Structure 1
Amino acid sequence: MNYFYVFSGKKIKRIFFLIVAALFAAGVVYVESDNITVFSEGSPSAIYSVPTEKKVVALTFDISWGEKRTGPILDVLEQKGVKKATFFLSSPWSKTHPDLVKRIVSAGYEIGSHGHKHVNYSSLSDEEIKKQITTAHDILGQLTGKQPNLIRMPNGDFDKRVLRIANNLNYKVIQWDTDSLDWKNPGVDTIVNRVVNKAHPGDIILLHASDSCKQTHLALPTIIDQLRAKGYEFVTVSELVQQTEMKNKTIQDKTTMQQHFHDAIGL
Protein backbone atom coordinates (compact mmCIF):
# COMPACT_ATOMS: atom_id res chain seq x y z
CA MET A 1 0.00 0.00 0.00
CA ASN A 2 1.34 3.41 -0.92
CA TYR A 3 1.16 6.39 1.42
CA PHE A 4 1.13 9.96 0.27
CA TYR A 5 2.02 12.92 2.49
CA VAL A 6 0.35 16.17 1.61
CA PHE A 7 2.01 19.38 2.85
CA SER A 8 -0.11 22.48 2.89
CA GLY A 9 1.40 25.80 1.88
CA LYS A 10 1.09 26.96 5.47
CA LYS A 11 3.16 24.03 6.81
CA ILE A 12 5.85 24.52 4.19
CA LYS A 13 6.03 28.19 5.09
CA ARG A 14 6.45 27.37 8.79
CA ILE A 15 9.21 24.85 8.10
CA PHE A 16 11.02 27.34 5.89
CA PHE A 17 10.88 30.07 8.54
CA LEU A 18 12.04 27.60 11.19
CA ILE A 19 15.15 26.73 9.16
CA VAL A 20 15.92 30.41 8.53
CA ALA A 21 15.50 31.28 12.21
CA ALA A 22 17.74 28.37 13.28
CA LEU A 23 20.48 29.44 10.88
CA PHE A 24 20.17 33.05 12.12
CA ALA A 25 20.52 31.97 15.75
CA ALA A 26 23.51 29.77 14.97
CA GLY A 27 25.20 32.66 13.22
CA VAL A 28 24.69 35.00 16.16
CA VAL A 29 26.05 32.47 18.65
CA TYR A 30 29.08 31.75 16.46
CA VAL A 31 29.99 35.37 15.83
CA GLU A 32 29.48 36.48 19.44
CA SER A 33 30.63 33.30 21.18
CA ASP A 34 33.59 35.02 22.88
CA ASN A 35 31.32 37.65 24.39
CA ILE A 36 29.00 34.99 25.77
CA THR A 37 31.97 33.20 27.31
CA VAL A 38 33.29 36.29 29.06
CA PHE A 39 29.96 37.46 30.43
CA SER A 40 28.04 34.20 30.63
CA GLU A 41 25.41 33.80 33.27
CA GLY A 42 26.23 31.51 36.15
CA SER A 43 29.19 31.57 38.49
CA PRO A 44 31.16 34.85 38.62
CA SER A 45 34.46 35.01 36.76
CA ALA A 46 37.45 37.32 36.58
CA ILE A 47 38.04 39.49 33.52
CA TYR A 48 41.43 39.15 31.83
CA SER A 49 40.69 40.88 28.54
CA VAL A 50 37.72 41.83 26.41
CA PRO A 51 36.90 40.39 22.96
CA THR A 52 36.80 43.22 20.45
CA GLU A 53 38.07 44.06 17.01
CA LYS A 54 38.78 47.65 18.01
CA LYS A 55 42.38 48.54 18.72
CA VAL A 56 41.85 49.59 22.32
CA VAL A 57 43.82 48.60 25.41
CA ALA A 58 43.62 49.48 29.09
CA LEU A 59 46.78 50.53 30.93
CA THR A 60 46.40 49.54 34.59
CA PHE A 61 48.66 50.40 37.50
CA ASP A 62 48.71 48.68 40.90
CA ILE A 63 49.90 50.70 43.89
CA SER A 64 50.42 49.21 47.34
CA TRP A 65 53.38 51.09 48.82
CA GLY A 66 55.88 53.91 48.36
CA GLU A 67 55.75 57.46 47.02
CA LYS A 68 58.67 57.74 44.58
CA ARG A 69 57.20 56.12 41.44
CA THR A 70 53.60 57.31 41.24
CA GLY A 71 54.47 60.94 40.52
CA PRO A 72 56.84 60.17 37.62
CA ILE A 73 54.28 57.80 36.09
CA LEU A 74 51.58 60.46 36.30
CA ASP A 75 54.04 62.92 34.72
CA VAL A 76 54.58 60.58 31.76
CA LEU A 77 50.85 60.03 31.24
CA GLU A 78 50.29 63.79 31.30
CA GLN A 79 53.18 64.53 28.96
CA LYS A 80 52.02 61.89 26.50
CA GLY A 81 48.41 63.04 26.63
CA VAL A 82 47.09 59.72 27.95
CA LYS A 83 43.85 60.75 29.60
CA LYS A 84 42.46 57.28 30.30
CA ALA A 85 44.04 54.69 32.58
CA THR A 86 42.96 52.67 35.61
CA PHE A 87 44.75 52.72 38.97
CA PHE A 88 44.13 49.95 41.49
CA LEU A 89 44.90 51.40 44.91
CA SER A 90 45.33 49.59 48.20
CA SER A 91 43.45 51.37 50.96
CA PRO A 92 46.35 51.62 53.49
CA TRP A 93 48.51 53.27 50.81
CA SER A 94 45.68 55.60 49.90
CA LYS A 95 45.22 56.71 53.52
CA THR A 96 48.90 57.59 53.87
CA HIS A 97 49.18 59.26 50.45
CA PRO A 98 46.01 61.34 50.06
CA ASP A 99 47.78 63.97 47.91
CA LEU A 100 48.76 61.36 45.32
CA VAL A 101 45.25 59.91 45.36
CA LYS A 102 43.86 63.39 44.80
CA ARG A 103 46.23 63.92 41.88
CA ILE A 104 45.13 60.65 40.24
CA VAL A 105 41.47 61.56 40.68
CA SER A 106 41.98 65.15 39.49
CA ALA A 107 43.66 63.86 36.33
CA GLY A 108 40.46 61.96 35.58
CA TYR A 109 41.88 58.46 35.85
CA GLU A 110 39.71 55.56 36.94
CA ILE A 111 40.11 54.22 40.47
CA GLY A 112 39.78 50.54 41.30
CA SER A 113 40.34 48.78 44.61
CA HIS A 114 43.47 46.77 45.34
CA GLY A 115 42.00 45.59 48.62
CA HIS A 116 43.06 46.31 52.18
CA LYS A 117 45.69 43.93 53.57
CA HIS A 118 48.12 42.77 50.88
CA VAL A 119 47.53 39.05 51.48
CA ASN A 120 46.13 36.17 49.44
CA TYR A 121 42.39 36.40 49.93
CA SER A 122 41.86 32.74 49.04
CA SER A 123 43.54 31.90 52.37
CA LEU A 124 40.96 33.90 54.35
CA SER A 125 37.54 32.98 55.70
CA ASP A 126 34.43 34.21 53.91
CA GLU A 127 33.81 36.83 56.58
CA GLU A 128 37.39 38.10 56.44
CA ILE A 129 37.30 38.33 52.63
CA LYS A 130 34.17 40.45 52.88
CA LYS A 131 35.79 42.62 55.56
CA GLN A 132 38.89 43.23 53.44
CA ILE A 133 36.85 44.30 50.42
CA THR A 134 34.39 46.49 52.33
CA THR A 135 37.12 48.16 54.41
CA ALA A 136 38.97 49.17 51.25
CA HIS A 137 35.70 50.22 49.65
CA ASP A 138 34.85 52.61 52.48
CA ILE A 139 38.32 54.16 52.61
CA LEU A 140 38.59 54.66 48.84
CA GLY A 141 35.08 56.07 48.72
CA GLN A 142 35.90 58.64 51.39
CA LEU A 143 39.18 59.67 49.74
CA THR A 144 38.00 59.80 46.13
CA GLY A 145 34.34 60.74 46.50
CA LYS A 146 33.44 57.80 44.26
CA GLN A 147 32.38 54.24 44.99
CA PRO A 148 34.73 51.81 43.20
CA ASN A 149 33.24 48.74 41.54
CA LEU A 150 36.40 47.18 40.13
CA ILE A 151 38.86 45.22 42.24
CA ARG A 152 42.19 43.57 41.56
CA MET A 153 43.00 41.19 44.36
CA PRO A 154 46.40 41.47 46.05
CA ASN A 155 48.89 39.27 44.19
CA GLY A 156 46.12 38.53 41.68
CA ASP A 157 45.04 35.72 43.99
CA PHE A 158 41.45 34.47 44.16
CA ASP A 159 39.30 31.37 44.18
CA LYS A 160 35.58 30.72 43.61
CA ARG A 161 34.72 32.00 47.09
CA VAL A 162 36.53 35.28 46.52
CA LEU A 163 34.80 35.74 43.15
CA ARG A 164 31.40 34.99 44.66
CA ILE A 165 31.85 37.38 47.59
CA ALA A 166 33.20 40.15 45.38
CA ASN A 167 30.29 39.69 43.01
CA ASN A 168 27.81 39.87 45.90
CA LEU A 169 29.42 43.19 46.85
CA ASN A 170 28.86 44.45 43.28
CA TYR A 171 32.52 44.23 42.30
CA LYS A 172 34.03 42.96 39.07
CA VAL A 173 37.34 41.15 39.58
CA ILE A 174 39.91 42.45 37.09
CA GLN A 175 42.99 40.49 36.12
CA TRP A 176 45.22 41.08 33.08
CA ASP A 177 46.23 39.40 29.83
CA THR A 178 49.58 41.15 29.36
CA ASP A 179 51.88 41.17 32.38
CA SER A 180 54.77 43.62 32.05
CA LEU A 181 56.66 41.83 34.85
CA ASP A 182 57.98 45.28 35.70
CA TRP A 183 58.15 44.30 39.37
CA LYS A 184 61.15 42.12 38.48
CA ASN A 185 63.01 45.18 37.15
CA PRO A 186 64.27 43.16 34.15
CA GLY A 187 65.41 46.22 32.18
CA VAL A 188 63.56 48.99 30.35
CA ASP A 189 63.84 47.36 26.90
CA THR A 190 62.59 44.03 28.25
CA ILE A 191 59.51 45.68 29.77
CA VAL A 192 58.80 47.63 26.58
CA ASN A 193 59.18 44.61 24.30
CA ARG A 194 57.09 42.37 26.51
CA VAL A 195 54.16 44.80 26.62
CA VAL A 196 54.24 45.94 23.00
CA ASN A 197 54.67 42.44 21.56
CA LYS A 198 51.93 40.89 23.70
CA ALA A 199 49.35 43.67 23.50
CA HIS A 200 46.19 42.92 21.50
CA PRO A 201 42.75 44.50 20.97
CA GLY A 202 40.78 44.48 24.23
CA ASP A 203 43.88 43.81 26.31
CA ILE A 204 44.26 44.68 29.99
CA ILE A 205 47.92 45.51 30.64
CA LEU A 206 49.41 45.12 34.11
CA LEU A 207 51.92 47.71 35.32
CA HIS A 208 52.90 48.92 38.78
CA ALA A 209 53.45 52.31 40.38
CA SER A 210 54.88 51.08 43.68
CA ASP A 211 58.43 51.97 44.72
CA SER A 212 59.77 48.47 44.13
CA CYS A 213 59.20 48.92 40.38
CA LYS A 214 62.11 51.17 39.45
CA GLN A 215 61.92 50.97 35.64
CA THR A 216 58.22 51.35 34.85
CA HIS A 217 58.26 55.13 34.48
CA LEU A 218 61.28 54.82 32.18
CA ALA A 219 59.64 52.20 29.96
CA LEU A 220 56.22 53.85 29.86
CA PRO A 221 56.94 56.61 27.30
CA THR A 222 58.17 54.11 24.72
CA ILE A 223 55.30 51.72 25.46
CA ILE A 224 52.82 54.51 24.80
CA ASP A 225 54.57 55.66 21.61
CA GLN A 226 54.91 52.17 20.14
CA LEU A 227 51.34 51.13 20.93
CA ARG A 228 50.04 54.32 19.35
CA ALA A 229 52.23 53.66 16.31
CA LYS A 230 50.41 50.33 16.00
CA GLY A 231 47.09 52.15 16.02
CA TYR A 232 46.04 51.52 19.63
CA GLU A 233 43.97 53.88 21.75
CA PHE A 234 43.92 53.88 25.55
CA VAL A 235 40.67 53.39 27.48
CA THR A 236 39.67 52.58 31.04
CA VAL A 237 38.85 49.07 32.18
CA SER A 238 35.22 50.10 32.69
CA GLU A 239 35.02 51.28 29.09
CA LEU A 240 36.33 47.92 27.89
CA VAL A 241 33.84 46.02 30.03
CA GLN A 242 30.95 48.28 29.05
CA GLN A 243 31.71 47.75 25.38
CA THR A 244 31.42 43.99 25.71
CA GLU A 245 28.37 44.14 27.97
CA MET A 246 26.64 46.20 25.27
CA LYS A 247 27.50 43.54 22.70
CA ASN A 248 26.21 40.86 25.03
CA LYS A 249 22.95 42.80 25.43
CA THR A 250 22.70 42.83 21.63
CA ILE A 251 22.85 39.04 21.65
CA GLN A 252 20.05 38.91 24.21
CA ASP A 253 17.98 41.36 22.19
CA LYS A 254 18.49 39.28 19.05
CA THR A 255 17.46 36.15 20.91
CA THR A 256 14.29 37.88 22.14
CA MET A 257 13.55 39.08 18.62
CA GLN A 258 13.97 35.55 17.34
CA GLN A 259 11.52 34.23 19.94
CA HIS A 260 8.97 36.86 18.92
CA PHE A 261 9.49 35.79 15.33
CA HIS A 262 8.79 32.17 16.28
CA ASP A 263 5.65 33.18 18.14
CA ALA A 264 4.42 35.21 15.18
CA ILE A 265 4.61 32.25 12.80
CA GLY A 266 3.18 29.81 15.35
CA LEU A 267 6.36 27.72 15.95
Structure 2
Amino acid sequence: MRRLYVIDMKKQKKAFIIIPIALFVALFLFLESNYTPTVFSNQENPRALNTGSSQNASVALTFNISHGNEQVLPILERLKSEGVRATFFVSGEWAERHPDILEKIAENEHEIGMLGYQYKSYVDQEIEEVRKDLQKAKDTFSKLGYENVYLLRAPNGHLNEEIINVAEKEGLKVIHWSVNPNDWKNPGTEKITNHILNNLNNGDIILLHASDTVKQTEKALEIVIPEIKKDKKLLTISELITLAETSQEELKSKKK
Protein backbone atom coordinates (compact mmCIF):
# COMPACT_ATOMS: atom_id res chain seq x y z
CA MET A 1 0.00 0.00 0.00
CA ARG A 2 1.51 3.26 -1.12
CA ARG A 3 1.49 6.21 1.21
CA LEU A 4 1.07 9.70 -0.10
CA TYR A 5 3.21 12.36 1.59
CA VAL A 6 2.07 15.94 1.14
CA ILE A 7 4.73 18.63 1.39
CA ASP A 8 3.62 21.92 2.84
CA MET A 9 5.43 24.40 0.55
CA LYS A 10 4.78 27.33 2.89
CA LYS A 11 6.67 25.52 5.63
CA GLN A 12 9.43 24.62 3.17
CA LYS A 13 9.82 28.25 2.12
CA LYS A 14 10.03 29.30 5.76
CA ALA A 15 12.73 26.69 6.36
CA PHE A 16 14.70 27.92 3.36
CA ILE A 17 14.63 31.43 4.83
CA ILE A 18 15.17 30.57 8.50
CA ILE A 19 18.07 28.12 8.05
CA PRO A 20 20.39 30.55 6.16
CA ILE A 21 19.58 33.30 8.67
CA ALA A 22 20.35 30.97 11.57
CA LEU A 23 23.65 29.96 9.96
CA PHE A 24 24.56 33.59 9.37
CA VAL A 25 23.82 34.51 12.99
CA ALA A 26 25.84 31.54 14.24
CA LEU A 27 28.78 32.53 12.03
CA PHE A 28 28.56 36.15 13.18
CA LEU A 29 28.59 35.14 16.85
CA PHE A 30 31.52 32.79 16.24
CA LEU A 31 33.56 35.50 14.55
CA GLU A 32 32.71 38.00 17.28
CA SER A 33 33.88 35.66 20.03
CA ASN A 34 36.93 34.37 18.16
CA TYR A 35 38.21 37.51 16.44
CA THR A 36 41.77 36.90 15.36
CA PRO A 37 43.21 39.40 12.86
CA THR A 38 45.82 38.11 10.42
CA VAL A 39 49.52 38.65 10.44
CA PHE A 40 51.44 41.74 9.29
CA SER A 41 50.46 45.31 8.49
CA ASN A 42 51.19 47.15 5.30
CA GLN A 43 50.13 50.57 4.04
CA GLU A 44 47.08 49.18 2.21
CA ASN A 45 45.91 46.76 4.87
CA PRO A 46 46.69 47.52 8.53
CA ARG A 47 46.59 44.39 10.67
CA ALA A 48 47.32 43.15 14.14
CA LEU A 49 49.69 40.26 14.73
CA ASN A 50 47.88 37.17 15.93
CA THR A 51 50.34 34.45 14.94
CA GLY A 52 53.99 34.05 14.10
CA SER A 53 55.40 31.71 11.47
CA SER A 54 53.85 28.27 11.05
CA GLN A 55 57.25 27.13 9.72
CA ASN A 56 58.84 27.32 13.17
CA ALA A 57 57.98 25.09 16.14
CA SER A 58 57.58 27.98 18.53
CA VAL A 59 54.75 29.73 20.38
CA ALA A 60 54.39 32.70 22.72
CA LEU A 61 52.87 32.89 26.19
CA THR A 62 51.31 36.27 26.92
CA PHE A 63 49.63 37.64 30.05
CA ASN A 64 47.31 40.61 30.50
CA ILE A 65 47.30 42.52 33.79
CA SER A 66 44.93 45.40 34.52
CA HIS A 67 44.29 45.03 38.26
CA GLY A 68 45.57 43.38 41.43
CA ASN A 69 48.94 42.19 42.67
CA GLU A 70 48.40 38.70 44.11
CA GLN A 71 48.11 36.29 41.16
CA VAL A 72 51.01 37.68 39.16
CA LEU A 73 53.62 36.69 41.75
CA PRO A 74 52.96 32.91 41.74
CA ILE A 75 52.75 33.04 37.95
CA LEU A 76 56.18 34.69 37.82
CA GLU A 77 57.53 31.99 40.14
CA ARG A 78 56.08 29.26 37.91
CA LEU A 79 57.65 30.78 34.80
CA LYS A 80 60.98 31.13 36.60
CA SER A 81 60.96 27.49 37.73
CA GLU A 82 60.23 26.37 34.16
CA GLY A 83 62.88 28.66 32.64
CA VAL A 84 60.31 30.39 30.42
CA ARG A 85 60.23 33.99 29.25
CA ALA A 86 56.83 35.47 28.40
CA THR A 87 55.32 38.79 27.34
CA PHE A 88 53.27 40.74 29.89
CA PHE A 89 50.80 43.35 28.66
CA VAL A 90 49.98 45.77 31.47
CA SER A 91 47.93 48.94 31.63
CA GLY A 92 49.63 52.24 32.39
CA GLU A 93 47.44 52.71 35.46
CA TRP A 94 48.47 49.31 36.82
CA ALA A 95 52.15 50.04 36.11
CA GLU A 96 51.92 53.29 38.12
CA ARG A 97 50.33 51.49 41.07
CA HIS A 98 52.72 48.51 41.03
CA PRO A 99 56.16 49.68 39.83
CA ASP A 100 57.84 47.11 42.09
CA ILE A 101 56.05 44.19 40.41
CA LEU A 102 56.73 45.67 36.97
CA GLU A 103 60.41 45.80 37.92
CA LYS A 104 60.25 42.16 39.01
CA ILE A 105 58.74 41.22 35.63
CA ALA A 106 61.60 43.00 33.87
CA GLU A 107 64.25 41.52 36.18
CA ASN A 108 63.01 38.04 35.27
CA GLU A 109 63.72 38.96 31.63
CA HIS A 110 60.10 38.92 30.54
CA GLU A 111 59.00 41.28 27.82
CA ILE A 112 56.72 44.21 28.68
CA GLY A 113 53.93 45.42 26.43
CA MET A 114 51.09 47.82 27.14
CA LEU A 115 47.30 47.67 27.37
CA GLY A 116 47.07 51.41 26.87
CA TYR A 117 46.74 53.61 29.94
CA GLN A 118 43.17 52.94 31.07
CA TYR A 119 41.78 49.49 30.52
CA LYS A 120 38.82 50.73 28.53
CA SER A 121 37.61 49.48 25.14
CA TYR A 122 39.01 51.58 22.30
CA VAL A 123 36.05 50.93 20.01
CA ASP A 124 33.82 52.68 22.57
CA GLN A 125 35.93 55.86 22.41
CA GLU A 126 36.46 58.61 19.89
CA ILE A 127 39.68 58.10 17.97
CA GLU A 128 41.24 61.22 19.50
CA GLU A 129 40.58 59.78 22.96
CA VAL A 130 42.36 56.60 21.86
CA ARG A 131 45.33 58.64 20.68
CA LYS A 132 45.52 60.49 24.00
CA ASP A 133 45.31 57.22 25.94
CA LEU A 134 48.17 55.74 23.91
CA GLN A 135 50.31 58.83 24.37
CA LYS A 136 49.65 58.85 28.12
CA ALA A 137 50.57 55.17 28.32
CA LYS A 138 53.84 55.78 26.45
CA ASP A 139 54.69 58.69 28.75
CA THR A 140 53.89 56.61 31.83
CA PHE A 141 56.15 53.71 30.84
CA SER A 142 58.89 56.14 29.85
CA LYS A 143 58.76 57.88 33.25
CA LEU A 144 58.98 54.49 34.95
CA GLY A 145 62.14 53.74 33.00
CA TYR A 146 60.69 51.58 30.20
CA GLU A 147 61.25 53.73 27.15
CA ASN A 148 61.30 50.96 24.58
CA VAL A 149 57.82 49.53 25.12
CA TYR A 150 56.44 49.18 21.60
CA LEU A 151 53.98 46.28 21.81
CA LEU A 152 50.30 47.12 22.27
CA ARG A 153 47.36 44.89 23.00
CA ALA A 154 44.05 46.71 22.81
CA PRO A 155 41.89 46.54 25.96
CA ASN A 156 39.51 43.57 25.61
CA GLY A 157 41.11 42.91 22.22
CA HIS A 158 38.66 45.35 20.64
CA LEU A 159 40.13 46.62 17.38
CA ASN A 160 39.37 48.15 14.04
CA GLU A 161 41.46 49.50 11.18
CA GLU A 162 41.39 53.08 12.45
CA ILE A 163 42.69 52.06 15.89
CA ILE A 164 45.53 50.04 14.36
CA ASN A 165 46.47 52.99 12.13
CA VAL A 166 46.61 55.36 15.11
CA ALA A 167 48.66 52.89 17.15
CA GLU A 168 51.17 52.41 14.37
CA LYS A 169 51.54 56.16 13.92
CA GLU A 170 52.47 56.22 17.62
CA GLY A 171 55.24 53.71 16.86
CA LEU A 172 53.38 50.75 18.36
CA LYS A 173 52.87 47.24 17.00
CA VAL A 174 49.42 45.81 17.72
CA ILE A 175 49.35 42.27 19.10
CA HIS A 176 46.28 40.03 19.28
CA TRP A 177 46.18 36.28 19.93
CA SER A 178 45.22 32.96 18.35
CA VAL A 179 44.60 30.72 21.40
CA ASN A 180 42.28 31.96 24.14
CA PRO A 181 41.20 29.56 26.91
CA ASN A 182 39.25 32.33 28.69
CA ASP A 183 41.12 31.64 31.90
CA TRP A 184 39.65 34.82 33.43
CA LYS A 185 36.32 32.97 33.67
CA ASN A 186 37.98 30.35 35.90
CA PRO A 187 36.42 27.43 33.99
CA GLY A 188 38.65 24.88 35.74
CA THR A 189 42.33 23.99 35.41
CA GLU A 190 41.57 21.02 33.18
CA LYS A 191 39.50 23.08 30.73
CA ILE A 192 42.19 25.75 30.48
CA THR A 193 44.88 23.13 29.94
CA ASN A 194 42.90 21.10 27.39
CA HIS A 195 41.89 24.16 25.38
CA ILE A 196 45.49 25.29 25.01
CA LEU A 197 47.01 21.90 24.22
CA ASN A 198 44.23 20.80 21.86
CA ASN A 199 44.31 24.00 19.81
CA LEU A 200 48.01 24.81 19.75
CA ASN A 201 49.89 25.14 16.44
CA ASN A 202 53.26 26.54 15.42
CA GLY A 203 53.42 30.31 15.75
CA ASP A 204 50.44 30.64 18.06
CA ILE A 205 50.07 33.44 20.58
CA ILE A 206 48.42 32.24 23.79
CA LEU A 207 46.30 34.72 25.74
CA LEU A 208 46.34 34.29 29.52
CA HIS A 209 45.81 36.66 32.44
CA ALA A 210 47.63 37.53 35.66
CA SER A 211 45.10 39.86 37.26
CA ASP A 212 43.58 38.96 40.61
CA THR A 213 40.34 37.57 39.14
CA VAL A 214 42.33 34.66 37.68
CA LYS A 215 42.50 31.76 40.15
CA GLN A 216 43.47 28.70 38.07
CA THR A 217 46.07 29.92 35.57
CA GLU A 218 49.19 29.20 37.61
CA LYS A 219 48.10 25.57 38.18
CA ALA A 220 47.30 25.21 34.48
CA LEU A 221 50.80 26.45 33.61
CA GLU A 222 52.27 23.65 35.71
CA ILE A 223 50.79 21.18 33.22
CA VAL A 224 50.82 23.23 30.02
CA ILE A 225 54.44 24.41 29.94
CA PRO A 226 56.14 20.98 30.15
CA GLU A 227 53.76 19.63 27.48
CA ILE A 228 54.46 22.53 25.11
CA LYS A 229 58.22 22.21 25.64
CA LYS A 230 58.16 18.62 24.37
CA ASP A 231 58.00 19.78 20.75
CA LYS A 232 57.92 23.59 20.72
CA LYS A 233 59.94 26.54 21.98
CA LEU A 234 58.32 29.20 24.16
CA LEU A 235 59.35 32.67 23.00
CA THR A 236 58.54 36.30 23.68
CA ILE A 237 56.43 38.19 21.15
CA SER A 238 59.49 40.05 19.82
CA GLU A 239 61.29 36.76 19.25
CA LEU A 240 58.22 35.36 17.51
CA ILE A 241 58.06 38.44 15.27
CA THR A 242 61.74 38.11 14.36
CA LEU A 243 61.26 34.46 13.39
CA ALA A 244 58.16 35.26 11.34
CA GLU A 245 59.88 38.11 9.48
CA THR A 246 62.90 35.90 8.81
CA SER A 247 60.64 33.17 7.43
CA GLN A 248 58.88 35.66 5.16
CA GLU A 249 62.22 36.93 3.83
CA GLU A 250 63.35 33.36 3.18
CA LEU A 251 60.15 32.62 1.26
CA LYS A 252 60.62 35.76 -0.85
CA SER A 253 64.21 34.76 -1.63
CA LYS A 254 63.12 31.27 -2.72
CA LYS A 255 60.47 32.72 -5.05
CA LYS A 256 63.14 34.85 -6.72
Normalization by structure 2: what TM-score? 0.81
Secondary structure, counterpart of 2:52 in structure 1: coil
Name the structure 1 match of 2:57: 55
Specify the alignment match of 1:176 in structure 2.
177
Q: Which residue is equivalent to 1:151?
A: 152
SS at match of 1:178: coil
Farther-moved stretch of structure 1 (44-53 vs 101-110): 44-53
Output the CA distance in 1 between the equivalents of 2:39 and 2:156: 22
Note if contact 1:149-1:170 (Cα within 8 Å) is conserved in structure 2. Answer: yes
1:4 alignment partner in structure 2: none
Work out which of the residue numbers 68, 71, 80 in structure 2 matches 1:69.
71
- CA separation of 1:40 and 1:157: change in aligned 2, threshold 3 A: closer
Residue type matched to 1:177 in 2?
A: S
Measured at CA, do residues 190 and 135 of structure 1 come closer, stay the same or move farther in structure 2, by a change above 3 Å? Answer: same
- In 1, Cα distance between equivalents of 2:90 and 2:206: 16
Partner Cα distance (1:242, 1:140) in 2: 23
My pick for the range that moved more, 118-127 or 173-182, is 118-127
Amino acid at match of 2:221: L
| Amino acid across the alignment from 1:43 | N
Unaligned regions of 5+ residues in structure 1, if any?
1-36, 259-267
Partner of 1:233: 233
**1:140 and 1:174 mapped to 2: Cα distance?**
18
Q: Is the 8 A contact 1:39 1:248 kept in 2?
A: no
Alignment-derived partner of residue 12 in structure 2:
none
Report the identity percentage.
Answer: 38
Count of matched residue positions in the alignment of Structure 1 and Structure 2: 218
Shift of 1:253: 5.4
CA RMSD, Structure 1 to Structure 2 (Å)? 1.6
CA contact (8 A) 1:44 1:163 kept: yes
Provide the C-alpha distance between the structure 2 equivalents of 1:246 and 1:232, rounded to a whole number of angstroms.
Answer: 18
Unaligned runs of 5+ in 2: 1-37
**What is the deviation of 1:40?**
5.7
Which has the greater radius of gyration? 1
